[in-house]
Amino acid sequence: MRQTMSTSQKDKVVIFDTTLRDGEQSPGATMSHSEKLEIAGLLDDMGVDIIEAGFPIASEGDFRAVSEIAKNARNSVICGLARANFGDIDRCWEAVKHAKQPRIHTFIGTSPLHRAIPNLTMDEMAERIHDTVSHARNLCDNVQWSPMDATRTEEDYLCRTVEIAIKAGATTINIPDTVGYTAPVESAELIRMLINKVPGADEIVFATHCHNDLGMATANSLAAVEGGARQIECTINGLGERAGNTALEEVVMALKVRGDIMPFSTGIDTTKLMNISRRVAAVSGFAVQYNKAIVGKNAFAHESGIHQDGMLKNAETFEIMRPEDVGLTETNIVMGKHSGRAALRSKLENLGFELGDNQLKDVFVRFKELADRKKEVFDDDLVALMRTTSDPESDRLSVKSLRVVCGTDGPQEAALTLSVDGEDRSTTATGDGPVDATFNAVKELFEHDARLQLYQVHAVTEGTDAQATVSVRLEEDGKIVTGQSADTDTVVASAKAYVSALNRLLVRREQTEVGYDIKGVGYKDVS
């Protein structure tokens, strides 16, 4: 039976989160298996309607992650992505079929540029769409179809392919702005046109998937809803390749705050937004910019004298939403070296981090080490502590000790002991500064050909005892990984971030790809 929208459903916007699939395609944003499961659990708990858990045929690791997420999901529909061929679709179904509510999402590029890739005529592509969507529907009664690069597809042909997909059994039609080309007025009109022109359009749900290349992803998504779309595809923090995707927190809060002109609702518990934003930033290695809407550090900060005066008299003068609406709360607990586990757990929960006993044990040890070096541990220090990328159970490399010699006279020198697969190795290396010397020492102890793409240092708080958060991005044979670490010693943080990135690179080396480009540009035979 087709999905038909009731009156109540027409007022609800379905949130389709693709952080674990599209968001992970950001260079360097690859998540580990356990991190994917954790993020999926947070999305499910927050009320996300549909989680696109991955691209099952991309690798054995991706398949296992999607399959396990499907088995563990409590409320969310679990969706997998598949190109327009039977092999992709079968693999996708094998991964999601264990979910209480599975969905297959299959796609093909319909614009002239994308039709040229598989060298298909319009008729040949139309036949493939019919065959593959029919195949998916025979496996699963919840099928989503996307004409990739829809916003640059000829109107008549787009209508034709959408009609074919609906007749073949698609229950959701997603209209992607794959390259972030469209504008809000066009986004609304495109959805409106399809609903009015395509037979059967009133029986299915239309979705929108916008990229942010021109900075209009959120506006385009909301405009599509005005045009009749009732599903928004988005990611936490707007994570995604190039300039990113529509940010989940932005569309959800826009609909909540501006319900006067957009009378739609979502099922998202917005008080959980800050927590999942921080966690995605940590596991992806992509820090949230300070002035990011909704979840940025400065989103609720007021420095201007006029703003501060107005806030003291009435918060509504310069705030259109409350910090607690997105899960940002303040407590009076001061953390220091005498603070116990209960106080740390309470503080972290107020910051949005819920830890199991084993996780708390590990974090408490690192907190004590930090508190011994800092008189007072601030909220941002704890967030930085939680963002450090490390998995003791799978990390093959770890920093055991580091001593550096630096100054104006040189040479800068680093004496490093590194644990490699449980074996301690030591060396002394020189370089153009203490960080360069440290990185050279790592290379001596663990040879590799990875190229340093990015090295960033940020002070977490003010003061000379402030922690430094260091991000390191490495590239090897097209594989891009990011590592992060924080420490009151910038060089130590640098060494740990570099080693963290190497650990992630080793994981990527072990993943066996199945011979195509995960970005979706490769089209293999349909059978």
| Residue in the block written with tokens 């944003």 | 29
d(CA 51, CA 235): 10
To the question of whether residue 22 is assigned a binding role by annotation, the answer is: yes
Short-list 141, 109, 136, 113, CA closest to 125: 109
d(CA 297, CA 351): 13
Look up residue 266 and give its two tokens.
Answer: 């979502």
d(CA 140, CA 162): 19
* Helix or strand run (H / E) with residue 338: none
Q: Tell me which amino acid residue 526 is.
A: V
| Residue in the block written with tokens 């420490």 | 487
Cα dihedral 263→17→22→186 (10° resolution)? -10
To the question of whether residue 149 is assigned a binding role by annotation, the answer is: no
To the question of whether residue 119 is assigned a binding role by annotation, the answer is: no
Look up residue 5 and give its two tokens.
Answer: 């929208």
| Residue in the block written with tokens 């969310």 | 76
**What are the two backbone dihedrals, phi and then psi, of residue 155, each rounded to the nearest 5 degrees?**
-55, -50
Short-list 300, 248, 317, CA closest to 39: 248
| Residue in the block written with tokens 């858990």 | 53
Instruction: Find the distance separating the first CA and the last CA of the chain, reported in whole Å.
Output: 27
d(CA 175, CA 191): 8
Q: Which residues contact 51 (CB under 8 A, 6 or more apart)?
A: 17, 20, 40, 43, 44, 69, 73, 76, 77, 78, 79
Sheet containing strand 451-459, strands side by side = 451-459, 468-476, 479-487
To the question of whether residue 211 is assigned a binding role by annotation, the answer is: yes
Q: Which residues contact 385 (CB under 8 A, 6 or more apart)?
A: 363, 366, 367, 370, 486
DSSP class per residue in 356-379: -HHHHHHHHHHHHHHHHH-SSB-H
Q: Which residues contact 442 (CB under 8 A, 6 or more apart)?
A: 416, 418, 495, 498, 499, 502
Q: Tell me which amino acid residue 453 is.
A: Q
Cα 45 to the chain's mean position, in Å? 16
* Helix or strand run (H / E) with residue 106: strand 102-109
For residues 237 and 292, the answer to whether their CB atoms sit within 8 Å is: yes
Binding residues: 22, 209, 211, 245
Binding residues for Mn(2+): 22, 209, 211, 245
